[in-house]
Amino acid sequence: MSAPSLVGAEWEVEVGPVAHGGFCIARHEGQVVFVRHALPGERVLARVTEGRVGDRFVRADAVSVGQASPHRVVPPCPWSGPGRCGGCDFQHVDLAEQRALKAAVVREQFSRLAGLDVDVEVAAVPGDHDGLDWRTRVEFAVDGTGRAGLRRHRSRDVVPVEDCLIATRPVVGSGVLDRSWPGVAAVDVIDAADPAEPVLVPVPLERARERARPQGRDRRGGDRRYRGPQPDAGRDDAGDGGLVREVVRDGDWSGEYAVAARGFWQVHPGAAPTFLHRVTVLLEAAPGDRVLDLYAGSGLFTARLGELVGPDGIVLGIEGDRRAVENGRANTGHLPNVEWRAGRVDAELATLVDQGVGADLAVLDPPRTGAGPEVIAHLAALGVRRAVYVACDPAALARDVATALTHGYRLASLEAHDAFPMTHHVECIAVLERAD
């Protein structure tokens, strides 16, 4: 028989350190409690939301605060808080402390999973307004009455909202929250450079069911960073919002990218130019270099790298989403030294190893689950001397760095960027170099 449920139990607890995932750690009579809406050092009343007697840990919400942290603020969003929208983790925390908490998580993950002491700070990404008004791509869930909203934390329940403060004003101004959506499971809203008006893409209920289990892509090859249902490989753009155009500028350089409306693109307006600049600076690609761009998407890094290595070099983009590869080929069509392969990254790299092909440099921008040990081993076998790894999950990154250490690499540098303010997510960029 199942152990008794603890859901609804309320305990006064002293809140300890922040944990990966937007929680802080507390204990009650020896029971580990992961508490949301709390801050380290606070004393709160925690209401259990998940867990049973005997569980290794339970989850809870801080429903009242007895002793508040000096970093606690009134959440700017009225739909943020226990039992409400689950999209933001840190609306109750001042912005500087949010970044300090994220840095603490990065340090803890690298210490625990890679055995490395790292000194890292989380830098602001330009383009938001005090941590708000930055998300250019939002998937709004639709409830049984046809009303659009956002989901509760770890739930399929839809919370009706009148605004989303982290979304850009064009996303909210699109009218997605003002109309009814009968027969629709979700509505994606995309605020791109072109077209000037946001693109709204309804996802019909039957189509959402068909796409609940994407075929032919997994964490090593497909791109699951975008949380909505993914475009099916080989489909046309009908019903998926077609193509949108993104423009990225880095100093005097600028590039235009065609991207599937529901495909992957960085959601913070400053993220793509920031990461492009940092990747190119850190990679130090020179004319004649052979570069692998792994999980290349629609070619954000590929196009710039193709220019940097010149006609005597080569860039190979590998991506699991065939439509993204088609767009990537179009985005880099002016560069004869850029090639593309559509397939699982680990499988494509294994083919290169079997063929005796070598590479000088690599860029990795994998989904949240990370690249995995096979990909890291293949990079070593290909002779890659330096790799720049862009990661949206510090735990996955730390595990892959630990693997890289066993293959003769060292962590040359690590930096972090706040591309997702008000949430626990943080983007890291690591440089791996051959230790010799």
> Is 226 assigned to a binding site?
no
Q: What is the pLDDT of residue 209?
A: 60
For residue 268, count other CB atoms closer than 10 A to its CB. 24
Which segments of 182-335 are extended strands (E)? 184-190, 199-204, 243-250, 253-260, 290-294, 314-319
pLDDT digits (tens, 9 = 90+) for 42-88: 999 999 999 999 999 999 999 999 999 999 999 999 999 999 999 99
Q: How far is CA 349 from the centre of its chain?
A: 23
What is this structure's pTM? 0.92
Q: What is the pLDDT of residue 72?
A: 98
At 2, the pLDDT band (50, 70, 90 cuts) reads confident
> Is 266 assigned to a binding site?
yes
Fill in the DSSP letter of residue 379.
H
Residue 35 pLDDT exceeds 80: yes
- Tell me what the mean pLDDT of segment 144-161 comes to: 96
Q: What is the pLDDT of residue 210?
A: 58
Q: What is the pLDDT of residue 332?
A: 98
Cβ neighbourhood burial of 204 (10 Å; 0-12, 13-18, 19+): middle
Cβ neighbourhood burial of 305 (10 Å; 0-12, 13-18, 19+): buried
> Is 365 assigned to a binding site?
yes
**CA atoms of 430 and 412, how far apart (whole Å):** 8
**Residue type, position 265, single letter:** W
Residue 246 pLDDT exceeds 90: yes
pLDDT digits (tens, 9 = 90+) for 154-168: 999 999 999 999 999
Q: Does domain 10-72 correspond to CATH entry 2.40.50.140?
A: yes
Q: What is the pLDDT of residue 241?
A: 80
**CA atoms of 37 and 24, how far apart (whole Å):** 8
Instruction: Determine phi and psi for 79, rounding to 5 degrees.
Output: -95, 10
Per CATH, the number for 243-434 is: 3.40.50.150
SS3 state at 364:
strand
DSSP alpha helix (H) spans, 204-290: 205-210, 271-283
Average pLDDT, the chain: 93
Residue 311 pLDDT exceeds 70: yes
Domain boundaries, the chain: 10-72, 137-210, 243-434
Residue 23 pLDDT exceeds 60: yes
Q: What is the pLDDT of residue 212?
A: 53
Helix H or strand E segment including 106 = helix 95-114
Smallest CA-to-CA distance from 142 within 119, 169, 120, 160 is with: 160
pLDDT digits (tens, 9 = 90+) for 199-229: 999 999 976 665 554 443 333 333 333 333 3
At 289, the pLDDT band (50, 70, 90 cuts) reads very high
At 436, the pLDDT band (50, 70, 90 cuts) reads confident
Listed in sequence order, the residues at least 6 apart from 407 whose beta carbon sits closer than 8 Å to its beta carbon are 376, 377, 379, 380
Q: What is the pLDDT of residue 239?
A: 57
* Among 77, 85, 164, 392, the one annotated catalytic: 392
Active site residue 392: yes
Smallest CA-to-CA distance from 238 within 212, 204, 192 is with: 204
pLDDT digits (tens, 9 = 90+) for 345-372: 999 999 999 999 999 999 999 999 999 9
Listed in sequence order, the residues at least 6 apart from 153 whose beta carbon sits closer than 8 Å to its beta carbon are 36, 86
> Is 295 assigned to a binding site?
yes
CA distances (Å), origin 43, targets 30, 69, 82, 137, 254: 17, 9, 16, 36, 50
